[in-house]
């Protein structure tokens, strides 16, 4: 898809479809009035007839146009004016794109950002448009045989902004393109079945990313190298599997040479059966998404490299399968982490923290100015927050506030949850330095506190994306989150 910023003053060029936003029970916006005038009053006639209510994301095409530069006009509802903002704007762009994707339109021009969107400057208005269009056009690279539905014909998408906003809009275009490319990369990886997307497949994907972008370097460590590092906790998870583990290191250099990087640590369990603490069968297929944290690191680096963002970032991805087997780790087994702490594995299904703790320790060699781990870590986080907010855990108030603010701006929200000594107490073991699980209560918090134990002296945060990284049910699939949050944070100087 080719995106383009158009100035309102010069936007009389021909288009297959002009997209115009209409509020519920309100007069026409400035932009709508302009398009209406050019089309000889087609919009106001239609509204007078009462065919269109302006309910958020409702669409209505006007196709029999005799005048003006647009072959069609697509009205899209923006909802009631007082409630209008980022969410409604994104929903409207998404709905308009879904309609366009079903038509013969090869190009379209959106007038939604020509009017001010409350609390969005032009940079963000354009970026959110690019993201929403891209999300609406994303198709899972499925493995269905037989005839595929036709691909959308839409190939060019113009975004009209006020003349004075053109420069900021240009930056938003670059941000949006990068984030959309990053989200697509994350989705493609996470949507793959676990018999395709193995640790070795992810390693290849890392090399491919480095090949696409000279600013990205990939390094892959195999089982022997991982053992040599002393990652006994990571390796305890992979023992039941025939697939060998990998530790993937992706370095993006966009900032000054010698500037401390930000480390992004992504959980890369390509399938989580639970191990000997085997999961229930219902919905177990969704545990192919247990590498969503890893996929989000790929996505974030893809985005940063596309944008050429002026930061240094190192992505660290421990990846393996969690399987039962004759050699699998058993409840009660004690393993030694790279940091030297011994861990009693009371539940082999709490494997994410076991691979992440060693990856966090490994991140220290890059002397990072911040470490953020991203993981589908706990079902308890899904119970606590559902799908809309991810869990944000950090003892560093400034870092937590920066990540929460980035999530807000990016429309990829994170809700802060506590880390505190009272919870780490619950991870005590009679046999080792700590246990890998506490009780049922506060499960997302005790999981975070386990990781916190390995982040001593680091500026560290943890994102539990178990609820937000993928959708279940009829729309089952990766959401591409938290790529927008991470990239926004990194673009803001982290």
Is 368 a binding residue for ligand BES by CB under 6 A? The answer is no
Helix (H, G, I), strand (E, B) or coil at 177: helix
294 burial type by CB count under 10 A (0-12 exposed, 13-18 middle, 19+ buried): buried
The whole-angstrom separation of Cα 336 and Cα 351 is: 14
Decide if 95 contacts 60 (C-beta within 8 A).
Answer: no
Decide if 86 contacts 117 (C-beta within 8 A).
Answer: yes
Binding partner at 443 among Zn ion, ligand BES, Mn ion, none, C-beta below 5 to 8 Å by kind = ligand BES
Positions 85 through 104 that interact with ligand BES (CB under 6 A): none
- Spot the catalytic one: 91, 279, 369, 416: 279
Contact partners, residue 49, CB within 8 Å, separation at least 6: none
Is 272 a binding residue for Zn ion by CB under 5 A? The answer is yes
The whole-angstrom separation of Cα 100 and Cα 116 is: 23
The whole-angstrom separation of Cα 57 and Cα 77 is: 5
Query: Per CB under 6 A, which region of 5-13, 53-61, 180-188, 343-351 contacts ligand BES?
Result: 343-351
Supply the DSSP string of 258-285, one letter for each residue. Answer: TPPPEEEEE-EEEEE--TTSPPPSTTGG
Query: Per CB under 6 A, which region of 114-122, 379-387, 424-432, 449-457 contacts ligand BES?
Result: 379-387
- Let me know if 49 is a catalytic residue: no
Supply the DSSP string of 25-84, one letter for each residue. Answer: TSPPPHHHHHHHHHTTTHHHHHHHHT-----TT-EEEE----SSSBS-EEEEEEEEGGG-
State the minimum distance, in angstroms, from the CB of residue 260 to ligand BES: 31
Query: What is the distance of C-alpha 37 from the center of its chain?
Result: 40
Q: Give strand ranges (E) for 287-443.
A: 312-322, 333-336, 342-345, 370-375, 390-393, 414-417, 434-435
Is 349 a binding residue for ligand BES by CB under 6 A? The answer is yes
Is 358 a binding residue for ligand BES by CB under 6 A? The answer is no
Taking residues 320 to 359 in sequence order and writing x for each that binds Zn ion by CB under 5 A, - otherwise, the string is --------------------------------x-------
The whole-angstrom separation of Cα 134 and Cα 126 is: 12
Is 380 a binding residue for ligand BES by CB under 6 A? The answer is yes
Is 115 a binding residue for Zn ion by CB under 5 A? The answer is no
Q: Are strands 312-322 and 246-253 parallel, antiparallel or unpaired?
A: antiparallel
Span between the terminal Cα atoms of the chain, in Å: 29
- Nearest residue (CB) to ligand BES, 57 versus 471: 471
Query: Per CB under 5 A, which region of 203-211, 288-296, 337-345, 401-409 contacts Zn ion?
Result: 288-296
Query: Per CB under 5 A, which region of 134-142, 187-195, 196-204, 262-270 contacts Zn ion?
Result: 262-270
Is 290 a binding residue for Zn ion by CB under 5 A? The answer is yes
Binding partner at 382 among Zn ion, ligand BES, Mn ion, none, C-beta below 5 to 8 Å by kind = ligand BES
- Nearest residue (CB) to ligand BES, 243 versus 290: 290
Total residues at interface with Zn ion (CB under 5 A): 4
- Spot the catalytic one: 90, 123, 353, 409: 353
- Let me know if 119 is a catalytic residue: no
Positions 139 through 178 that interact with ligand BES (CB under 6 A): none
- Nearest residue (CB) to Mn ion, 291 versus 305: 291
State the minimum distance, in angstroms, from the CB of residue 299 to Mn ion: 22
Helix (H, G, I), strand (E, B) or coil at 316: strand
Query: 148-160 burial string, b = 16+ CB within 10 Å, else e?
Result: eeeebebeebbbb
Is 36 a binding residue for Zn ion by CB under 5 A? The answer is no
Positions 440 through 479 that interact with ligand BES (CB under 6 A): 443, 466
Give the residue numbers annotated as catalytic, written as ranges.
279, 353
Q: Note the residues at the interface with Zn ion (CB under 5 A).
A: 269, 272, 290, 352
Q: Note the residues at the interface with ligand BES (CB under 6 A).
A: 272, 290, 347, 349-352, 376-380, 382, 437, 443, 466
């Amino acid at each position: 898809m080719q995106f383009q910023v158009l100035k309102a003053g010069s936007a009389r060029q021909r288009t297959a479809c002009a997209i115009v936003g209409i509020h519920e029970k309100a007069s026409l916006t400035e932009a709508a009035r302009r398009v209406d005038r050019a089309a000889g009053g087609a919009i106001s006639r239609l509204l007078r007839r009462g065919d269109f209510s302006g309910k958020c994301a409702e669409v209505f095409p006007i196709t029999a146009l005799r005048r003006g530069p647009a072959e069609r006009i697509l009205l899209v509802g923006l909802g009631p004016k007082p409630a209008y903002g980022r969410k409604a704007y994104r929903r409207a762009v998404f709905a308009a794109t879904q309609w366009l994707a079903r038509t013969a339109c090869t190009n379209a021009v959106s007038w939604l950002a020509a009017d001010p969107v409350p609390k969005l400057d032009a940079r963000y208005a354009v970026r959110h448009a690019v993201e929403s269009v891209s999300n609406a056009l994303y198709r899972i690279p499925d493995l269905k045989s037989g005839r595929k539905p036709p691909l959308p014909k839409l190939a060019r998408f113009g975004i009209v902004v006020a003349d004075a906003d053109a420069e900021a809009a240009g930056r938003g275009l670059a941000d949006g393109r990068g984030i959309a490319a990053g989200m697509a990369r994350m989705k493609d990886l996470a949507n793959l079945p676990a018999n395709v997307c193995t640790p070795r497949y992810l390693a290849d994907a890392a090399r491919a990313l480095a090949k696409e972008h000279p600013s990205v370097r990939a390094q892959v460590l195999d089982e022997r190298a991982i053992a040599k590092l002393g990652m006994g906790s990571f390796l305890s998870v992979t023992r039941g599997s025939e697939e060998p583990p990998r530790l993937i290191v992706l370095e993006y250099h966009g900032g000054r040479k010698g500037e401390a990087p930000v480390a992004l640590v992504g959980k890369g369990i390509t399938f989580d059966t639970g191990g000997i603490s085997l999961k229930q069968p219902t919905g177990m297929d969704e545990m192919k998404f247990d590498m969503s944290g890893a996929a989000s690191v790929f996505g974030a680096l893809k985005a940063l490299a596309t944008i050429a963002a002026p930061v240094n970032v190192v992505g660290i991805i421990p990846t393996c399968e969690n399987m039962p087997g004759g050699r699998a780790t058993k409840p009660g087994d004690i393993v030694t982490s790279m940091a030297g702490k011994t861990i009693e594995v009371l539940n082999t299904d709490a494997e994410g923290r076991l691979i992440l703790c060693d990856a966090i320790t490994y991140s220290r060699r890059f002397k990072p100015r911040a470490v953020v781990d991203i993981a589908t870590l706990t079902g308890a986080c899904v119970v606590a927050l559902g799908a809309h907010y991810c869990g944000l855990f950090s003892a560093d108030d400034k870092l937590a506030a920066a990540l929460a603010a980035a999530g807000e701006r990016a429309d990829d929200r994170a809700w802060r949850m506590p880390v505190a000594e009272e919870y780490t107490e619950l991870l005590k073991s009679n046999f080792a330095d700590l246990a890998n699980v506490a009780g049922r209560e506060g499960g997302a918090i005790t999981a975070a506190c386990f990781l916190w134990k390995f982040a001593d002296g680091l500026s560290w945060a943890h994102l539990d994306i178990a609820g937000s990284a993928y959708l279940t049910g009829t729309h089952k699939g990766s959401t591409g989150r938290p790529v927008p949050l991470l990239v926004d944070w990194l673009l803001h100087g982290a």
